[in-house]
Amino acid sequence: MPERSSPPVLQLRVALTSRDLDRLERFYLAGLGLEPTATWRHGADARGVMVPLGHATLELFDKPYAAHVDGLEAGGRVSGPVRLALQVPDLDAALARLVEHGATVVHPPVTTPWGDRNVRLQDPEGLQVTLFEEAERVPGTDA
């Protein structure tokens, strides 16, 4: 296989369409302490906001594995075909801010078998969001 000069995908963007953009902005921006990098307008009533979320990955699950993850984080299969997972530095603080800004707690925080702390929420539009705080890793181990 020939060596590539750049990766085949340079950026992942997820676009959420909202019935109430102001409410969703408060949830994600104020709730997570984020600042927009761009805002767009089209006419008097159409607008959008771009918010950086750090490093992005795409996770692809089959239904049995999605059921496994939901079981760990929420006690059973509860998410739809799309769920966001956001790593935060302080799970408890982020959870409190997001609840203040409209999150519904789907399941209280759990410690995963690999030691991370996860909590499953639902944003004001109903999209499920996992917040996770990574366990401190010991160099040279898989845990």
Residue-wise pLDDT tens digits, 92-143: 999 999 999 999 999 999 999 999 999 999 999 999 999 999 998 655 545 4
Q: Which of 30, 21, 20, 31 is nearest to 99 (CA)?
A: 31
* pLDDT for res 137: 60
Bridge-based pairing of strands 38-42 and 83-87 is unpaired
The torsion angle over the Cα atoms of residues 39, 42, 48 and 54, rounded to 10 degrees, is -50
Cα–Cα dist 35/25, whole Å: 10
* pLDDT for res 143: 47
* pLDDT for res 140: 54
| Structure confidence at residue 5 as a pLDDT band (50, 70, 90) | confident
Rounded (to 5) percent helix, strand, coil in the chain = 25, 25, 50
* pLDDT for res 76: 95
Q: Is 137 exposed, middle or buried (0-12, 13-18, 19+ CB in 10 A)?
A: exposed
* pLDDT for res 136: 80
Model pTM score: 0.85
Give percent of the chain above pLDDT 90.
Answer: 83
Write down all domains in the chain, each with its CATH number in brackets.
21-133 (3.10.180.10)
Cα–Cα dist 22/138, whole Å: 42
